[in-house]
């Protein structure tokens, strides 16, 4: 929640519930993409 609130904001901007759900889903997807880009690529040493 800290990362969500820091990057996206503390409140939703949409007024209706279906749009709020869509806004939250998009925000979570963006955070997951950003987290994935920052993760190191590790490979097994042989």
Tens digit of each residue's pLDDT (9 = 90 or more) over 1-46? 888 888 888 898 899 999 999 999 999 999 999 888 988 888 888 7
Range(s) of the domain holding residue 10: 2-29
What's the confidence (pLDDT) of residue 26? Answer: 94
Residue 35 in any domain: the answer is no
pTM of the model: 0.70
Residue 42 in any domain: the answer is no
Residue 8 in any domain: the answer is yes
What's the confidence (pLDDT) of residue 18? Answer: 96
What's the confidence (pLDDT) of residue 2? Answer: 84
Tokens representing 46? 């042989």
Residue 17 in any domain: the answer is yes
Assess contact for 35 and 4: CB atoms under 8 A. Answer: no
Number of domains in the chain: 1
């Amino acid at each position: 929640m800290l990362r969500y609130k820091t990057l996206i904001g503390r409140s939703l901007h949409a007024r209706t519930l279906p749009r709020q759900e869509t806004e939250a889903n998009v925000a979570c997807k963006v955070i997951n993409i950003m987290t994935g880009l920052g993760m190191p690529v590790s490979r097994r040493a042989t």
